[in-house]
Amino acid sequence: MMRSGRASALLLALALAAGGKAWTAPVEMQSYPVPSGAHPHDVAPAPDGGVWYTAQHQGALGWLDPKTGKTVHIPLGEGSSPHGVIVGPDGAAWVTDSGLNAIVRVDPRTREVKKFPLAGRSYTNLNTAAFDGRGVLWFTGQSGVYGSVDPKTGKVTVHDAPKGRGPYGIASAPDGSVYYVSLAGSHLARVNTQTGAAEVIEPPTPEQGARRVWPDSKGNLWISEWNSGNVSRYDPKGKQWKVWKLPGENPRAYSVYVDEKDIVWLTDFSANAIVRFDPATGKFESFPSPRPGARVRQMLGRPGEVWAPESGTDHLVVLRTK
C-alpha cells in the first residue's frame, strides 16, 4: 500500500516555557499524514533516512519518506496489531506485535517478515523492545511478562515479572544494561541480562504509573509517570531520585525520549502537546499539536530530529532542533 502527500503543516515557533520565559533556540515542527485508520503507535527513524511506524489498526509496519511524504505499508500477517518498533544492530526493523503475540523482524531491503512467537504463552500484550549490549532483544508484555530474543539463534525466552502485570516501556542504557518500567506496578526494574532476573527499584512517588523509560548519555534513567504527571530521574550509581512536575493542570505524561544533547522530551495527553525539558535549567517548553486529540504515545529520534506519532490523528510529527 502506498500513499503520497506533502507535509500537512510547517511552523517555526518559540513556545513559551513554564514561568512565561522562552527558550532561545527555535524548533521547526512538521507534520506528515499517514493512511487514514493506521493509528500509528510507535516510530523509529530508519538508517536510510526514512521513518518506520507501527500501523496498529491495519496490522502493518509503515515506512515514511520525509522528503516526499510517501508511505509504504508492509502487512505483518493475519491478526497483527503491532505496538512498538525499533531498529536493531542489523539495520532491520524489530516489532512487538501484541496481535500475533510475537516479535517480528522486517528486512528493510527485501521486506521479508520473520516472526518469533512466544510459544507456550497465551496473550501477553506485547509492548516495547530494546537491544542490550550483546545484541539480544528484550521485550515487555503488559500482561505480566518480559523476555528476550537472541537474533543469532532465534531462541525466545519469557520470564514472569516479579510483581505481575504492568511491564511497559523498556530501554537499554549506554553500558548495555536493560531497564523496564511497570505501568500497573508503578516501579522501575533492572534486568540482569545474564540470568534474566529482574530487580525492582521503587520510585519515590507511590502509584505514579511509570509508563516509559529512556537513558541519558550519563546512564541516568528518565521516566514518564502517567498517573502523577511527573517526569523522574534515577541515578543507578548513586541510587538517587529526582522528580519534576510537568506544567499545566492535571498533566498526563505518556512517553519520554532523551536526545543527543541530553534534552528530555515528553508527551502530555492533557495538554495535547509534546513537551521539552532542560534538566540544567529545570525549564519546560510546550509544543501543542494543531490537531485535537493527537495522543502521542511514543517518541524516538536521531541527531537534530525528534519524531512522534499522533495515533489519534493519523500523522507523524518531527521537531527539528538544528
Residue 109 sits at the vertex; the CA angle it makes with 104 and 112, to the nearest 5 degrees, is 35
pLDDT of residue 24: 55
pLDDT of residue 308: 98
pLDDT of residue 25: 67
pLDDT of residue 144: 98
Region 9-25: mean pLDDT is 44
Per DSSP (E only), the strands in 216-263 are 221-225, 230-235, 240-245, 253-258
**Residues 235-280 pLDDT 10s:** 999 999 999 999 999 999 999 999 999 999 999 999 999 999 999 9
Going along the chain from its start, the domains and CATH numbers come out as: 2-320 (2.130.10.10)
Is the distance from CB of 169 to CB of 179 less than 8 angstroms? no
Is the distance from CB of 199 to CB of 190 less than 8 angstroms? yes
Contacts of 196 by beta carbon, 8 Å cutoff, 6+ apart: 147, 148, 157, 159
**Residues 142-199 pLDDT 10s:** 999 999 999 999 999 999 999 999 999 999 999 999 999 999 999 999 999 999 999 9
Is the distance from CB of 22 to CB of 16 less than 8 angstroms? yes
pLDDT bin (cut points 50, 70, 90) of residue 322 is confident
C-alpha cell at 58: 491495519
pLDDT bin (cut points 50, 70, 90) of residue 26 is confident
Residue identified by cell 505483518 is 76
C-alpha cell at 260: 543527543
Burial 274-305 (b: 16+ CB within 10 A, else e): bbbbebeeebbbbbbbebeebbbbbbbbbeeb
Contacts of 274 by beta carbon, 8 Å cutoff, 6+ apart: 265, 266, 267, 268, 286, 287, 289, 296, 299, 306, 308, 317, 319
Q: CB burial class (10 A; 0-12, 13-18, 19+) of residue 107? A: middle
